[in-house]
Amino acid sequence: MPIFSYGFRPFFLSASVFAGVVLPIWAMYLSGSHNTDFLYGPREWHVHEMVFGFLPAVIAGFLLTAMPNWTDRPPIKGLPLIVLWALWLAGRLVIALPWPPPIVCAIIDAAFPLALAVIVWREIAMGKAWDRSPIGVLISLFAIANILFHVQALNDSATDLPERMGFMVIILLLALIGGRVAPGFTEDFMEERGLPQRPPDFSRFDGAILLLTALAAIIWTVLPQAAVTGWLLIVAGLMNIVRLSRWYGWLTWREPLVLILHVGYGWLAMSLLIMGSATLGWGLYQNDALHALTTGAIGSMTLAIMTRASLGHTGRPKYAGPMTIMIYSLVNLGALLRVFGPITDLPTSLVFGGSALLWSGAYVLFALVYGPYLFSPSLEEN
């Protein structure tokens, strides 16, 4: 079955369908037209399923596709991939329909991130790709954060800390992976177009910014209200803007498939600035500021990776057609409305409902446009 011939196929499709379903359900709950009977309360369900449900599917799709290039080992496919995907699906089902005892539901859900961490470390060790160890550490921390979420929720305790741990991992993954793929694909684009400019190679400057971003994210995780946290986030945001400016992203406007990577990284830098300002009591409320990371940076970067990988690994031209441009437009419009809509005079229901429909609509469109590619053999095999 082509759908289980490579990790990106089932996980990117499942993530897009899941995002397209979960956000409208959340919007209906906020409007009062839908009652929930999930494992946890509405807020906890929403946060958990977006951070520890939707995102792990995208992460798995990316890692299972990238690791063969990192390790020179064959991809995980067939029955092992089916079992891994089934673990992810089982977690989503028991969170939404908790017919087993709660502790059993939590164990089932925790199995997938743990299995993914084990696979990542196994591939790193077997391929002796120890330079990819930071990825293994981050995926392991993500799995631990999910377990801690369940421990806290099952004991009727606040889940803020494991939520921030999950976001911390995502910030670092975006900075680490996005900071590699954006300049790398930009350089390829410039070579193809004969442009003289080239993004600089990864240097100590980039490493210092990654360390600063990691420090800011870690301090935010443990001290979210401290003034020093706000200033660290602001400085990290500014330095990531400097990093982004060195990649000549404005020259890629003719190819949205490359440009969206710069947009996604720009959202990451801006989200650090906005979150830092909110921590210091300036600008947006903290919940709205956090959505600059979730709807903006995560939304743009996940779809950037999903569209490019789906095209490239199915043997199709790496070119953004009208539907792909629409996908990028919807996710960014949804993010802008969710982040900045609350400070306007627009009705709250319009802001939350409209942003949810726009944002989830981008993933529904991905499923409709790219789903046939993911179910079909690669064109290079024909």
Q: Which helix (H) or strand (E) element contains residue 366? A: helix 348-375
Find tokens 């600008």 and name the residue: 283
Q: Which residues of 35-66 are buried (b: 16+ CB within 10 A; e: fewer)?
A: eeebbbeeebbbbbbbbbbbbbbbbbbbbbbb
Q: Are the C-beta atoms of residues 170 and 135 closer than 8 Å to each other? A: no
pLDDT at 378: 87
Judge whether 56 and 92 are in contact, CB under 8 Å.
Answer: no
First to last CA, the chain: 15
Task: Name the helix (H) or strand (E) containing 212.
Answer: helix 204-222
* Residue 233 CA, distance from chain mean position: 19
| CA 173 – CA 108 distance, rounded (Å) | 25
- Cβ within 8 Å of residue 216, ≥6 positions away: 229, 232, 233, 235, 236, 272, 276
What are the residues whose beta carbons fall under 8 Å from the beta carbon of 74, sequence distance 6 or more?
A: 68
Residue-wise burial string across 165-200, b where 16 or more C-beta atoms lie within 10 A, e elsewhere: bbbbbbbbbbbbbbbebbbebbbebbeeeeeeeebe
Tokens coding 198: 């080239």
At residue 35, the pLDDT reads 66
pLDDT in tens, the chain (382 residues): 899 999 999 999 999 999 999 988 887 777 666 667 788 888 899 999 999 999 999 999 999 999 999 999 999 999 999 999 999 999 999 999 888 999 999 999 999 999 999 999 999 999 999 999 999 999 999 999 999 999 999 999 999 999 999 999 999 999 999 999 999 999 999 999 999 999 999 999 999 999 999 999 999 999 999 999 999 999 999 999 999 999 999 999 999 999 999 999 999 999 999 999 999 999 898 999 999 999 999 999 999 999 999 999 999 999 999 999 999 999 999 999 999 999 998 898 889 889 999 999 999 999 999 999 999 998 876 5
Q: Give the list of residues 6+ apart from residue 256 with CB closer than 8 angstroms, or none.
A: 320, 324, 325, 328
pLDDT for position 213: 98
Measured at the CA of 350, the angle between CA 349 and CA 356, to 5 degrees, comes to 90
